[in-house]
Structure formats: C-alpha cells, structure tokens
Amino acid sequence: MFDLGLTLPFTLGLVTAINPCGFAMLPTWIGYFLTGDAADREDRPEQVLRGLLVSLVMAGAFVLVFGTLGLAVTHLVTEESVARRTPWITVLIGLLLIGYGLALLTGRQVRLPIPKPRRGPGSSELWSVFGFGVSYAVVSIGCAAPIFLLQVAGSFGRDGILEGTATYLAFAAGMTAVVASLTLSLALARGGLVRHLRRLVPFMDRIATLALVLGGAYLVVYGIYEIRLLRNPGTPSNPVVDVVTDLQTHLANWVAQAGGTRVGLALWLVVLTAVVWGIGPALTGEARRTGWTIVGAAWLFGEGVGHRGDLVVLPVGRLAMDWPARIANWADTPGRWAVPLEALLTLVALATLALFVRPMFRRR
C-alpha cells in the first residue's frame, strides 16, 4: 500500500506532530480551536467542513515552514544559527499564550499576533489558523528539524526532484493525519455538546482556556531550558520537561512499534468516515450512498484486505476488553505514563455515551 521509501517520511510526519518541543502545542491547539467557537449555531455539515478546512490549513502551514527551513539551511543559513534563535521565539509565544489564556479566563478579549482561530471561510479566520500552524512549526524546530533536514529535505539532493517531492508529500500526509483526526474529533464533540449537553459547554470552554495557559507555561519553561542548554551543555535536566518528554517518547515508541503506516492509515480512515458522516445530512440520497460506498471500500481494503481486521477493529476490541484492568491499575501504578491518557479517554468515552443516552431518556 505504501512504497517502502515513503514509509519513513510518512512515519516521521506522524512523530513530528508529537515532537518534544511542540508537544504542548497539541493541547494548546485544543484551546484555540474550542474557546469561543463561532460555529456553535451551525449545522453539523458546516462544522465538519470547517474543522477539516482549518486542520488542513494549520498542518499546511507547519509543513510549509519546514520546507522553507530546508531551503534556507541549504542555501542561506546554518542549522546551528536557526537552533540558537528558535528558543527565544518559543518563550515569546508561550508568554503570549499565557496572557491570552488569562485574559479569556477573566472574560476579556485580547488581540494577539497569533489570534485564536475562529472557524469560518473568511480569509482573516484562515490566516489566524495559518499563524498558529507557523507557531507550532517554529517551536518544533529545535527537536524535529535535524531529522527532517536529513530524511526529507535531503532527499531532493539524493534522489532528485520527483522522489524528493513524493517524500515531502508523504511527510505532510503523516503530519496532517494527526492534526485532521484530532480537529475533526473536537468539532464533532463540540457539536454534540451544543446539541445535547449545552450546559457542559462553558466547562469545556474553561478547560480549553486552561489548556492555553498550561501550554504557554510549558513553552516558556522549555524555551528557557533550551537557552540554558545551548549556553551550557552540562545544564541539569528540568523535571517538567522530563515528564513531558517521557510521555512524548512513549507515544513515539508506540507509533514505531505499531507501525507508522498502520497508525497513519487508521487515522485517515477515521478522518474519511468522520467527514462523510458529518456532511451526510447536506448530501442528496445518491451522493450520500456514493460517499458511504467510498468509505466502505476504504475500510474493506485497508482494514480487511490490508490488515485482516488488525488495523482498528481488533486493537480497539482488545483495548476495550482490557480497560477494566487498566482502570484497576491506576491506584496500583499511578505514575505509569499512560494513566493520564487513559483517564482522559475514559472521560471522553463517558461524555460520548451521555450524548446518546440522554436523548433516549428525554423521548421516554
């Protein structure tokens, strides 16, 4: 399904989305995407299409910055000079996010050089999303640029224009898979809360705003740590950075063990299914049938023929069967790296269940 030469850059794109430097930008993106959602009053098709659009713009900005970096390092500047400047930008972005999040918590509205994306087709909204993608890429340079320059940007010189372009697009597809699946999940979750559990929306707003503040605080801590490390390589490790780096390392190792192409293919199948389901009410009968036929064929080929059920269905089934044991282990091994993610996933599952159960009780 994937050319062997494209497997590495595709996997690199997945891992780059959760790189140690920019790892805090994912919860921060949640905060940007959810706070003050302008699409609350729109129907599900519009919400899903907006979610897909902003995820593509944000991921596109990320890979564009990295592509520009590859050209700059090849012809204009050195990798070392870039690495020495990005930590200062990381600290600045973190301070802006902290100030912006605190302003939202107090009910104020502040315009930042990197404004929060308000979903919509207007150019100002898309430029704000583009700005976030650029910020995400800048804070990720310190960790992800060396491997990117070697494996992706360097392919143009090693393999030629056509092979280099294919490698770059594979990297972009991997990175976009993470962003698009996360963003569409958030869009659908937000829409479900608005339709069925509107009272929970303010709590979701506060949690998202808190993610802004915490993400900004981590960027400040990480940027200062990088600056100290550049000045003195013997600088002792930072406990906050160590915790986040450890979590990111476990996630990256899990992607590597599961197989980057398998994880990426599963994410893109989820994205395709979410898009077709989301825009279904706006389609005619024939178009809706065509959409679901394409989804069914994609799942049959990817899940059935390609992996014999071991892409999404069987792993999710095994995970569900093991979940009670995992919850029991929270008290025994609370320091296990997966505990925060498991707790978050449990809350999301309970909230999703509530979305379906509450309307049933109302009808009765």
Q: What is the pLDDT of residues 124-156, one digit of tens each?
A: 567 778 888 888 888 887 777 777 777 777 777
For the chain, helix, strand, coil in percent to 5 are 80, 0, 20
Report residue 93's pLDDT band, with 50, 70 and 90 as the boundaries: confident
Distance linking the first and last C-alpha atoms of the chain:
48
Per the structure, the count of domains in the chain is 1
pLDDT of residue 14: 84
Residue 283 belongs to a domain: no
C-alpha pair distances (Å), 325 with each of 176, 329, 334, 340, 353: 33, 6, 13, 15, 20
Burial class (CB in 10 A: 0-12, 13-18, 19+), 168: buried
265 in a structural domain: no
Which residue type sits at 149? L
> Of 166-180, 194-208, 220-234, 311-325, which range is least confident?
194-208
Measured between alpha carbons, how far is residue 211 from residues 5, 31, 135, 216, 314 in Å?
Answer: 37, 6, 16, 8, 33
Task: With respect to residue 180, please indicate whether it lies within any of the assigned structural domains.
Answer: yes
Over pLDDT 70: what percentage of the chain?
A: 79
| Inter-residue contact 146 to 79 (CB < 8 Å) | yes
In whole angstroms, what is the distance from residue 172 CA to residue 64 CA?
Answer: 9
pLDDT of residue 77: 67
pLDDT digits (tens, 9 = 90+) for 32-62: 776 655 555 566 777 788 888 888 888 888 8
* Residue 307 pLDDT: 78
Residue type, 112: L
Q: What is the pLDDT of residues 266-283, one digit of tens each?
A: 888 888 888 888 887 777
pLDDT band, residue 205 (cuts 50/70/90): low
- Whether residue 309 lies inside any domain: the answer is no
Percent of the chain residues topping a pLDDT of 90? 1
Band (261; pLDDT cuts 50, 70, 90): confident
Sorting pLDDT into bands at 50, 70 and 90, what band is 97? confident
Rounded mean pLDDT, 180-187? 82
Asked if residue 23 lies in contact with residue 215, where contact means CB atoms within 8 angstroms, the answer is no
Give the torsion through C-alpha atoms of 314, 320, 321, 325, to 10 deg: 140
CA-nearest of 91, 101, 188, 179 to 133 is 179
In a domain, 142, yes or no: yes
Nearest Cα to Cα of residue 120 among 44, 192, 50, 32: 50
* Average pLDDT over the chain, rounded to an integer: 76
Average pLDDT over residues 104-131: 58
pLDDT at 229 over 80: yes
Residue 115 has pLDDT above 70, yes or no: no
| 155, part of any domain | yes
Six-digit token string for 229: 């490390």
Domain residues for the domain of 82 are 4-236
Residue 120 has pLDDT above 50, yes or no: no
123: three-class secondary structure by DSSP? helix
Please give the residue that has the higher pLDDT: either 180 or 282: 180
Is the model's pLDDT at 121 over the cut of 50?
no
Does residue 101 belong to any structural domain of this protein? yes
Lowest-confidence segment of 7-21, 145-159, 191-205, 206-220 by average pLDDT:
191-205
pLDDT for the residue numbered 118: 44
Listed in sequence order, the DSSP H helices in 106-200 are 123-148, 154-159, 161-196
What whole-number distance in Å separates Cα of residue 134 and Cα of residue 65? 6
- Is 352 inside any structural domain? no
Q: Tally the C-alpha atoms within 13 A of residue 271's C-alpha that lie toward its C-beta.
A: 22
Please name the residue that has the structure tokens 């590495």: 8
